Structures are given as structure tokens and as C-alpha cells.
Amino acid sequence: MSDIYQFRRGTAPLLISIPHLGSQIPDAQRAQMTPVGLESGDTDWHLDTLYRYAEAMGASILGARYSRYVVDLNRPPNDESLYPGQTKTGLCPTQTFRGDALYLNDAVLTDAERAHRLQTYWQPYHAKLRDELDRIKAEHGTVLLWEAHSIASVLPRLFEGKLPDLNIGTADGAACAPDILAAVEDGLRDCSAYTWAVNGRFKGGYITRHYGAPADNVHAIQLEMCQSTYMDETHPYGYRADLADKVIPVVEGLVRAALDRTAARQR
């Protein structure tokens, strides 16, 4: 048991990573935050519930416990921009996605504080992620890393208009083999109920880009879902079973298509 992440080991060549699942904020940090910051509003709410079906698929599932407002596990440790020219949300953000201040005084984010958060929260998650990818690959010869994310459907500070419902990212094809991505795209084309994009506004974050290595039989795919497909996008961010029950089979089909194609490459 880890205080930093929750983890369930599976039996299939599939690891589902949910780095923005957590909403916990350490007490020392909470004392420095604004009321809106304390809501941890940019959490990828309820994805552990949405992906619960994956346990039956034999997936290993790794999810963060702490908020991205502590440290963003899907950003590079040197905090370089993943989308040059776009608004940068940062390794240790100081604003919400809507531009609201997280801290009463940003001066609390000293270099020493950033280094502490990187060592205390970022590094253990990535060490576990690396270890599990290595274990699965050693056992199966190949591994699919599925990066599970969600975001509010309308965020003018980050993108124009409404985001497509389902956004697949593979670092413009660098993070997974073309046939695996093609299997996912086939599943998207078969689904008329939701809008979708591949390597559009979201191409995959640090985890997808850093760990995806198709030449080494590690295939990474990120799915960024609009939260409007399964939950209320305003506080208190309630889960909507009436919506989720419709999108879950679609997401399951995408994951299964990618997994089947990944496993077939080693047969």
C-alpha cells in the first residue's frame, strides 16, 4: 500500500495509468491555497469508476492519490512545455485551467518546494509506472500503456470552442505502432454517438511521450475524454450514471481493440 498512488496488479499485457485521478492536498499546502484551489477542480474525477471494467480484462491499474495541484505527474520533471505556443499549465501549477489563482501568494512555490514535491510525489509514481511496464513486458513480451484522462469540455484558456468527446493521442504516431492506433480509429469510426479526434489538440502528455516506445514493444495511447460524457462538470463534480453507462462500452471497446492488436503482435 502506498500513500502516493493506488495500484492493482493484473494478468494482461495492459497497464492503465490515471495520473490525475487524485484530489488529496497535503495540509501544509492547503493552508496556502485559495478556496477554489482547495476544490481540486481540475481532477480527472471518477475515472477509477469509469475504468472499473478493466479489472475483468486483466489490466493493471495505477492511479494517483494526490491532486495535480500538488504536482502534475503528466508533465516532464524539467517543466518544459509540451505544447509550445499554447497555454502552459505547469509541473506545479499556480492557476486552475480557467485561470483562477490557486495560492494566496505564489511565493510559497520556491525552488526548494518544487524539488520536494518532485521527489515526494512525482518520482514514486513514475518509479512504479516504470517497474510495472518492465514487469509486464518481461512476462508478455509486449505491453499496452493506456493513459486515462478527462477534462471539462469547454475551457477557453486552453482551447477554442468545445473539445471533441474522445481525444486520442499518440505523440503524432511516435508512441505506439500504426496498426494499434488503426484498431482504435476503427472503433471510433464505428461510434456515431460521440465526436472524436486523433492527435488533435491533445497528442499525449509526458507519460505517453516518454514511455511509449513501439520499437521496444511498449505502446502508449492517451485518451482525453470530455467530462460531459459521464459527469457534471461543475462543483461538486457528481458522477452521472445515466451518461457513463453509455460511454463506458465505447471506451471499453477502444481499449480492447488496442489490447487485442498489441497481444497479436507477439503471437
Overall average pLDDT of the 30-45 stretch = 97
Contacts of 172 (CB under 8 A, 6+ apart): 199, 203
CA distances (Å), origin 15, targets 122, 143, 165, 188, 210: 18, 7, 23, 21, 15
Overall average pLDDT of the 47-61 stretch = 97
φ, ψ of residue 132 in degrees (nearest 5): -75, -40
Under the banding of pLDDT at 50, 70 and 90, the label for residue 267 is low
Contacts of 51 (CB under 8 A, 6+ apart): 16, 18, 59, 61, 148, 251
Mean pLDDT of the chain: 97
For 202, the 3-state DSSP assignment is coil
Nearest alpha carbon to residue 230 among 197, 208, 252: 252
- Per-residue pLDDT of 215-252, as tens digits, reads 999 999 999 999 999 999 999 999 999 999 999 999 99
pLDDT above 80 (res 128): yes
Cα–Cα distance for residue pair 31/27, rounded to 1 Å: 6
pLDDT reported for residue 188: 97
Calculate the dihedral angle through the C-alpha atoms of 43, 144, 223, 3, rounding to the nearest 10 degrees. 0
Give 211's Cβ-side CA count (13 Å radius): 31
pLDDT reported for residue 72: 98
pLDDT above 80 (res 182): yes
Tell me what percent of the residues of the chain surpass a pLDDT of 70.
99
pTM tops 0.75: yes
φ, ψ of residue 79 in degrees (nearest 5): 65, 25
